[in-house]
Every structure is written in C-alpha cells, then in structure tokens.
Amino acid sequence: MKGWNWDGFFEYLTNTYMLEGAMVTLGLTIAAMSLGLLVGFFIALMRMSPYKMLRTVAYFYTWVVRGTPLLVQLIIIYTGLPQLGIKFSVLESTLIGLVINEAAYLSEIIRSGISSVPKGQTNAALAIGMTNIQKMRYIIAPQAARIMIPPLGNSVNGCLKTTSIASVISMEELLRRTQVLIQEKFMVLELFVVAALYYLLMTTMWDLVQRRIERHFGRGYDIKADTSEQK
C-alpha cells in the first residue's frame, strides 16, 4: 500500500514505549474512577441532604464541572493556578482534573441509584432500628448497585478515552507517546492506528468485564441472566 509502512506498523504495535503509555492510561483510569467514586458519593449525599447549604454547594459544583470542558479545566489547573501560587506537577494536575470531572458525573449516577430505592423500604429499615450505615449497607446499596452498574461501566469506558485529553499538558499517556513518536518517525497514520487499536483493545476488555459484573448483580432479577449463569 502506497504511503503505508507495514514494517513500522507492526514494530510499534508491540513497542515497549507504546505499551508503557497504555499502562499509564490504565493507571490514570483506575485512579480517576476510584477517587471519583469516593468524591462523587459524598457529592451525591450532599445533593440529597436536608440542609439547603449542602445541596446548594453540591449543585454548584456539578453545574460548573459538567458545564465546562475537561480540557479547559486541565489548563486552568496546570497553567492557571500557578499564577495564584498553587502549582501541581503534570501527574497531579491530570489526576485532580480527571477526579473532579468524573466525580461530578458519577455523583449524579449514584444519586439516581439511591433515589431509585423505594422510600417505604428505607422507612421500614429505620422502623426496625437500623442505623443509617446499616440501612445504606443492607437495604439501599444492594438495590442501587444493580441500577448504577451499567452507567458506571460506561463511565469507565469513557474515562479510558478521556485520559487522552491529558496529552495537552504533556502527560506521558498513550496519545502523548504516540505524538512523540510521530515527531521522531514521521509515521502519522501508522502510529495513530496503533494507538486506536490500543484504545479499542482496552475498551473491549472492559466491556467483557462489565458484562460479567452486570450478570452477577442481575441474578435474581433477570431470568435470562440466571439461565446463562447456570450454563
């Protein structure tokens, strides 16, 4: 094929430099989703709080973060805050930006999952003497999890690809390393296709994991899921 370097394509398909970039992408995704879930959980509780001040703060947070691009947020954190004397490294800026962004979206998923549990069940839990922690653990969480898992899984998939935005502030993840190699080797199409295949592989693997998780939590609610598990 004219203009296509097959030798270069196959060479960088298993290149250590690219593989390390993919590992950085995975690490960023795991860290961002883990911390984002934690922060998002507290934001969701604030949105559902009986105290107006907490609800207002949580609403303002989600309104600002969801209403502005992640790219702009990263640039503000990495290049804007130093003007105020607040300086973060590239990795710190990336993680802060991703966590702040993911938490805003995850909080809405968590809030909708908790709200889906019938009020009568939570009232019954309190009536038999359960504490708020016990109510959350035994009544709300198991039922809410089944509702939240599909959108949470999609958020993981999206975060895997969103990490590529961090290349703008020179984060050494997959896309940034691809750009560095392009500047050295001048194989634009070949290297971008390699990067795309890496992203496709990671999202496909996660899709398989997500399906298994959904089947596990769907047992007892979906007859088809129970049948497939028995097989």
pLDDT reported for residue 79: 95
Q: Which ranges of 3-131 would DSSP assign to H, the alpha helix?
A: 6-13, 16-47, 52-66, 70-75, 90-115, 119-127
Q: Is the dihedral of CA 26, 27, 32, 33 positive or negative?
A: positive
108 near 46, Cβ under 8 Å? no
Roughly what angle, to the nearest 10 degrees, separates helices 16-47 and 90-115?
40
Burial of 51 (0-12, 13-18, 19+ CB in 10 A): exposed
Three-state secondary structure readout of 122-170:
HHHHHHCCCCHHHHHHHHHHHHHHHHHHHHHHHHHHHHHHHHHHHHHHC
pLDDT reported for residue 219: 65
50 DSSP 8-state letter? S
Ranges in the chain, pLDDT < 50: 223-231
Query: Which residue ranges make up each domain of the chain?
Result: 6-221
Cα distances from 96 to residues 5, 101, 103, in angstroms, run 39, 8, 10
Which CATH fold topology does 6-221 show? MetI-like fold (1.10.3720)
